[in-house]
Structure 1
Amino acid sequence: MRKVAGMKLTNRLVAFVTLIVVCAMFVLFIGGAVSFRKLGADFLEHYLNNVVTEIDDAISNPKPDETIGHWLPRVLKASDVVEMEIRSKTGLLFRYEQIQTAGRPLDLIEHRYVLPNNPGFFVTIKSVPPYANFAYSIGAMSSLSLAVLVIVLALSWGIRWLRQQLLGAELLEDRGRLILAGRAEEVKTGDDREWPATASIALDQMIAELKDARQERSRFDTFLRSNTFLDKLTGAANRVMFDNRLQTVLQDKGAQGAVLMLQIADWDGLVQEQGKSGADEWVKEVGAILSNAILRFPDAILARYYDADFAILLTHQSAKDARLFASQLMKALERLSAPAPLEKEDWAYLGMTFFSAGERRGRLMEEAEMAKRSAVLQGSSSWFAFKKDVVAEDARGSVRWRTLLSRVLESGGPDLYRQVVKDVQGEELHTELLARIRDENGLIIKASRFMNGVDLVGMNTALDRAVIKKAMNQLRNGDGRETLSVNVCAESLRQRKFQYWLRDTLLQTPRSMLNRLQIEISEAPLVQHLDAVRPTLKMVRALGCPVVVDQAGRSVVSTYYLKDIQPKYVKFHRSLMRDIHQRPENQLYVRSMLGACEPTKTEVLAVGVETAQEWQTLIQLGIQGGQGRLFGAELSANPAAKKRQRWLKK
């Protein structure tokens, strides 16, 4: 894989040009210094040759009135000769030596000459080197100094000109670095100064096409998921999604609730009288009433089960609350003006049955169908509940929930159970902390049940604070290698006080610990409140805590949030993993999510994996990790609970 160059193109060229100019100046300086030295040595050699010639003439033709001892010392002193000796085979004839010398003895240059006119005579001269007594002078070296100054000015101007000419290439390179960093949206349109212009225009076109392709991919993925799990006409869930969710709820320990089946009477007559479009409009109107009615139940699911039948799943609701909801729902439907040929007060029939954990889905749907038929026999848009024993109804109101949650928070917060998450090689990725509370009788209540009460009394923020504090204590007291993941409500992330508290808490925590703390948020609330929670999640990521999106696929939403918050992991809802090797529609959903995450660094994890067949199918689909009973059960972090769990295993 090619690596990005660390040095910019402009800096490279500037460094190259500067190095070439400096090297040329250095070579010129060395050459000039050598030339000056050689000229000085040649001049001194020529001058001393003349002096030796005079000495040779004086010795060969002596004059009585002018002896060597009279005129030679003055000449030698003017010539900076320090020592001179005239010798012959018989011995020393003449010696000259200056008392004060300008140069050091080690710096003197020695010359030896043979007198041609006087065989057997030779002269030895020690003189000061050329330019030994000269220092740098601006006047004397003005031409050289001016040349150096001109070169420096020309170099600076040339570098500035080169930078201006290559500014476009540098802008293009900076843009490429941002694209490689995943910030293509910030530079989707290039600067007019970018060069080469063809490359800049090509990048503009490619980014625009990539953006359209991503949006089209997102729309296509949403279309696939919608057609797989949603009804095209009403936008509610279809039969496949309803059955998946119901099957998952029935396998949860302690689950309870109700299944409601609503039938529109005389559907065939309505289609003949009003036409297909008129009947569809009536179905959409009824679906809107049902959608508004279930809004107060966070986990409720509305599905168009058949052409004229709607199914509603109420989870973690008591029989009393379910009956009250059925009565209110029928009153809301009575206010609609039924089109012909439907009778105004006899067109809707509602059947209801109750369930608890462990029951069969097929049996429940049969009970709901039987209850609906009983309602049809009663007539007058009535509803009927299937008579069966309801196990352990829990009709908690807001007062009881507030009392229980207040007691839990006063005692230090909920208990945190741990479940490991592993990758396809079996290596541990992180450990998810699951909140559990105990009721007045000591029975453990899962988050899927008590979160309804938390939303009812508005204690999301207090609960999330307690969970985060406990998670940080475990990280602080742990071995320093474990990564923990905690669930946080989107409602809490919207609160200004909670945002400030979370920011201050994370700022006071070491970076090494923050890298081992992951914040999980459910997909549906995240998409619903994306604009409100986006700044908080970006702040969390900037401080070092990875973001995880869980319960993906619980409802069909757009996956465009992947680009906004850039989560580290996306976890599927457990209802999609149940018997996935036998459900092609669930496999299609998984492939769609994997395709949406492919352009990003987000990895996709499966939750609720319980069998090896499910895991093998997920690996073949391309999943990056899994969580469930196949990899490890939920274990309490409480030492006393751990001891009891080991005893139960034995």
Structure 2
Amino acid sequence: MRKTPSLRLSNRLISFVTLMVSAAIFILFIGGAISFKQIGNEYLEHYLAGVVNVVDEELLAPEEAKSMAKWLPKLLKASSVVSMELSSPTGPVYSFQTLSVMPDDTLLYQKTLPLQINKGYSITFKSIPPYSAFTYSLGALFSITAAIAVIIVSLLWGVVWLRKQLYGSELLEERGRMLLAGRLDDYSVGSEEEWPATASLALDSVITELKDARKERSRFDTFIRTHTFLDKLTGSANRVLFDSKLESTLQESQSQGVLLLLRINGWDDLIEEQGKVVADDFIVEIGKQLNNIIQRYSDGVLSRYYHSDFALLIPQQSLKEAKIIASQCLKVVEKIIPPKSLNCDNWCHIGVNMYVSGEGRGRLMDELDMAHRSALLQNNNSWSLFKKQQQLTESLGSVRWRTLFDAIFEQEQLLLYKQSTFLFKGNELELLHLEIFSRIRDENGVQIKASRFLPAIKQVGYQIKLDSAVLKQVFPLLSDPDFSQYMFSVHLQVKSLQTPAFIRQLRNRLLQTPRAQLKRLSFELVEGQVVTYLDAVRPIARLLKSFGCQLVVEQAGRTIVSTHYIKDLNVDYIKLHRSLMKDIHQRYENQLFVRSLLGACENTGAEVLAVGIENEKELKLLKELGVEGGQGRIFESETALFHRQEKISIPKRRNRWGK
């Protein structure tokens, strides 16, 4: 990937101009000094040549040659000549040596000049170099000093002017850096001072079009998923999504729940007598009433299973609760005034069936249809339960659940399980993190999975206690040498993130943990809860990301929602719901959903992970679709993080009537 330069354009231009001017001043100074020295040497040579001519003429007259010893030393001394030696072919004729302190011989200027008249004679001079004893003179060098000062001042003014002229380019460059850093929303519109203005306006236009394209892509992806998995008329799940959710639920161990099938009696007569518009309005009204009931259960699924059929899937419900739900459905539906072609007392019949993990989907739907027929035989609006040879055991009530949870949290007996999540690196697997699951044991030592006790946790309002207990056990693992090579992923409930006390507790734990350890920690949030409470999740997501933690959104695809949260929260990983993985190589609608989500994650930095991979065919197809990683029993089953054998001791209820 091409890297951006670390030095700004204005700094580079200013550095270039300053370097060029400084180099010019330096070269001018060196050249002037050399020229100054050369002029001095030429002047000295010219003066010494004049002395040589005088001496040469004096040697012609013997009388004047004798008097030369009187005036020549004075002349030489005035000319800064240190020594002079007049030589002839036979040897030295005259020599002069100053009595003053002589400088180093290497610093003296030495020159030998021949006499023109007296052939064979020569004079050797040793003189102090010109200007060597001079100091700086303001008067003499004022012009040069002023010129250098003008150049420096002009350079400083030019730098300031250049900075002002390039300020707009700096703004444009800084904006580009922020866009590359992912802050598109904050820098989508540039300043009027940006330069070149055409580049700034073009960037604004491109960003606007990009935002529109992303919104259109998100709407298109949502449109695809909606028309693939949702009923166009009621907005509830269609038959494809309902069957997928049911099969996924039946594969989970210790799962149980209730199935309801509501069918309108006389649907064909209604369409024939009053038309499709009246029938559609009637269906929409029934869907609204049933949706109000299903909203009470977080994992419940409402589906328009057929033209006149509604199917409800509510996991982790007991037989007693199933009867209550069926009575509530019948009661709210009977409040609807049916069209005239329908019998007010015999138009709605509900079949109820219970399921446990391991049962077949086809058999359950057949039993549900038999239960509906039994209700139809009663000739009035009613519901009927399919009676199996072995019904579900009754679940704990809210009071018993609360008592069990209190004992577990007080005795710190929450069980933690782990399952590895891998990234696909060609044909090899790279460990991403260990996903942490919570389980509990009841008073009889029977282990209960989170999928079964989480609805009870929400019912009694213990989400914060559960998350706090999990974090209390996970944070010490970050500093444990035995787990130093692992990364951990912890589940959090959005309800906890809406509580200031829990946020303070979480922030304090993060502040007390070194950042190097926090980089090995991820937090997982449920997609449906994230979209519903996006405003509450947004600041918490920024807090976690600021500490170096990773953000994971799980159960993607369990509900059909918009994917704008991916960019908004800067999500690192998205985990697909396990219901999409079941026989995905045979279900093109699930493949379409995965392709749509992969397209929504493009250019966002988020990677898509698959959960619940069971066989090689599913794994091969997921790799072909472009899923970056996954987890499931094909790689590794859930294993206990710690092995605890302590038994939960629950205080017995006091016998109020005993003596």
- Same fold by TM-score, threshold 0.5 exceeded? yes
| Counterpart Cα distance in 1 of 2:315 and 2:199 | 58
With 495-504 and 169-178 compared, the bigger mean Cα shift is at: 169-178
What's the CA shift for 1:90? 4.1
* 1:98-146 Cα distance to aligned partner (Å, 9 max, x none): 2224743331111212222333432221111111111223332211111
TM-score in terms of structure 2 length: 0.93
| Counterpart Cα distance in 2 of 1:339 and 1:135 | 117
Mapping for residues 450-599 of structure 1, pairs under 5 Å: 450-477=453-480, 478-599=482-603
SS of structure 2 residue aligned to 1:340 = coil
What's the CA shift for 1:331? 1.9
> Measured at CA, do residues 64 and 522 of structure 1 come closer, stay the same or move farther in structure 2, by a change above 3 Å?
closer
> Measured at CA, do residues 68 and 527 of structure 1 come closer, stay the same or move farther in structure 2, by a change above 3 Å?
same
With 44-53 and 570-579 compared, the bigger mean Cα shift is at: 44-53
Report sequence identity in percent.
Answer: 48
What's the CA shift for 1:601? 1.4
What's the CA shift for 1:35? 0.5
Contact 1:355 1:364 in 2 (8 A): yes
Contact 1:102 1:133 in 2 (8 A): no
Name the amino acid aligned to 1:181: A
Contact 2:226 2:560 in 1 (8 A): yes
Contact 1:610 1:630 in 2 (8 A): yes
> Measured at CA, do residues 576 and 507 of structure 1 come closer, stay the same or move farther in structure 2, by a change above 3 Å?
same
What's the CA shift for 1:428? 1.8
| Counterpart Cα distance in 1 of 2:136 and 2:284 | 99
SS of structure 2 residue aligned to 1:162 = helix
Contact 2:255 2:451 in 1 (8 A): no
Name the amino acid aligned to 2:534: L
What's the CA shift for 1:455? 0.8
What's the CA shift for 1:56? 2.1
* 1:414-457 Cα distance to aligned partner (Å, 9 max, x none): 21111111223222222111111111111111111111111111
Match of 1:134 in 2: 134
With 98-107 and 172-181 compared, the bigger mean Cα shift is at: 98-107
Match of 2:611 in 1: 607
| Counterpart Cα distance in 1 of 2:140 and 2:66 | 40
Q: 2:435 aligned with 1:439, yes or no?
A: no
What's the CA shift for 1:341? 2.4
Name the amino acid aligned to 1:124: T
Calculate the aligned-residue CA RMSD, in Å. 1.9
Q: 2:265 aligned with 1:265, yes or no?
A: yes
Contact 1:82 1:101 in 2 (8 A): no
Match of 1:255 in 2: 255
Match of 2:305 in 1: 305
| Counterpart Cα distance in 2 of 1:213 and 1:529 | 25
SS of structure 2 residue aligned to 1:418 = strand
SS of structure 1 residue aligned to 2:486 = coil
Match of 1:84 in 2: 84
> Measured at CA, do residues 63 and 391 of structure 1 come closer, stay the same or move farther in structure 2, by a change above 3 Å?
farther
Name the amino acid aligned to 2:223: F
What's the CA shift for 1:404? 1.2
> Which of 615, 620, 624 in structure 2 is aligned with 1:620?
624
Contact 1:563 1:600 in 2 (8 A): yes
Match of 1:75 in 2: 75
Contact 1:538 1:565 in 2 (8 A): yes
> Which consecutive unaligned segments of at least 5 residues does structure 1 have?
642-650
Contact 1:354 1:390 in 2 (8 A): no
| Counterpart Cα distance in 1 of 2:625 and 2:478 | 34
| Counterpart Cα distance in 1 of 2:65 and 2:49 | 24
SS of structure 2 residue aligned to 1:187 = coil
| Counterpart Cα distance in 1 of 2:537 and 2:2 | 37
Match of 1:55 in 2: 55
Q: 2:428 aligned with 1:448, yes or no?
A: no
Mapping for residues 355-504 of structure 1, pairs under 5 Å: 355-424=355-424, 425-477=428-480, 478-504=482-508
| Counterpart Cα distance in 2 of 1:473 and 1:379 | 64
SS of structure 2 residue aligned to 1:60 = coil
Match of 1:645 in 2: none
Match of 2:211 in 1: 211
> Which of 630, 636, 641 in structure 2 is aligned with 1:632?
636
| Counterpart Cα distance in 2 of 1:448 and 1:177 | 45
| Counterpart Cα distance in 1 of 2:46 and 2:465 | 103
* 1:374-415 Cα distance to aligned partner (Å, 9 max, x none): 222223321111122454524322221221112222232521
Contact 1:418 1:634 in 2 (8 A): yes
> Measured at CA, do residues 238 and 34 of structure 1 come closer, stay the same or move farther in structure 2, by a change above 3 Å?
same
How many pairs align? 641
Mapping for residues 337-356 of structure 1, pairs under 5 Å: 337-356=337-356
What's the CA shift for 1:528? 0.7
SS of structure 1 residue aligned to 2:186 = helix
SS of structure 1 residue aligned to 2:21 = helix
SS of structure 1 residue aligned to 2:539 = helix
Contact 1:102 1:128 in 2 (8 A): no
Contact 2:58 2:64 in 1 (8 A): no
TM-score in terms of structure 1 length: 0.95
| Counterpart Cα distance in 2 of 1:65 and 1:444 | 132
What's the CA shift for 1:597? 0.9
What's the CA shift for 1:612? 0.8
